A and B are shown apart, each in its own frame.
Chain A
């Protein structure tokens, strides 16, 4: 079946850039997503990228997709304390398949 992998932890100094990486196995992925989970809450969609794109920028967020290597990354510029959360990568297979496969999540800790 599909598999999505992420490293579990990342620590970054306030003001620096954070880069969270994700690899996936499903070559038929259509959309790839980044969800954010704050303590005690459910997941919220942060951003997404369609599989025929290789980059998407949205304010402080930059998503890079290397479809050949099945590698997705999320860069957060000028990381703030409010960015502390768990970040989940998720992929969706063929159109018509509404199921998302989530990674394990990366816990981002901001060092003052």
Chain B
């Protein structure tokens, strides 16, 4: 398996633009997580899905952020409109729910909002 795939790896955009980050989880995994990593706040869980259904979105910063999982092999995180303070590395992770629940992380998308 190729692991968790994220695209794009880098994104530079201007304030006010819409940004869409994409994630393909590991085949067969039933949990998908979106995280944001910054120097100031460390690693924050934004939202997670189980079987394509959002379970906990309490970490989503505000209404400008939205996440969808239309099927088991694809998820998006959208920011509209983007702001400079959204600049961060966004990670997607997937896991097979159960006792250990090891989360497998993608390589991340580095977002820069100018």
Binding site for B on A (CB under 8 A): 31, 40-45, 48, 88, 92, 95, 98-105
Contacts and interface: CB of A to CB of B under 8 A. Distances in A.
Contact of A42 (B91, B99, B100, B102): B91
Interface stretch (B14-22, B42-50, B73-81): B42-50
B100 A44 contact: no
Interface residues of B, number: 22
Interface of B: 4, 31, 42-43, 45, 48, 50, 55-56, 91, 93, 95, 97, 99-103, 105-108
A98 B101 contact: yes
Given A98-B31, A105-B42, A48 B48 contact: no
Contact of A95 (B43, B48, B50, B99): B99
A104 B105 CA distance: 17
B106 A42 contact: yes
Secondary structure of the B contact surface, majority rule: strand
Contacts of B42: 102-105
Contact of B100 (A31, A41, A102): A31
A42 B108 CA distance: 6
Contacts of A98: 31, 48, 50, 55, 95, 97, 101
A99 B43 CA distance: 13
Contacts of B31: 98
A44 B105 contact: yes
A43 B48 contact: no
16 contacts: A31-B99, A31-B101, A41-B107, A41-B108, A42-B93, A45-B102, A98-B31, A98-B55, A98-B101, A99-B45, A99-B48, A100-B45, A100-B101, A103-B42, A105-B42, A105-B43
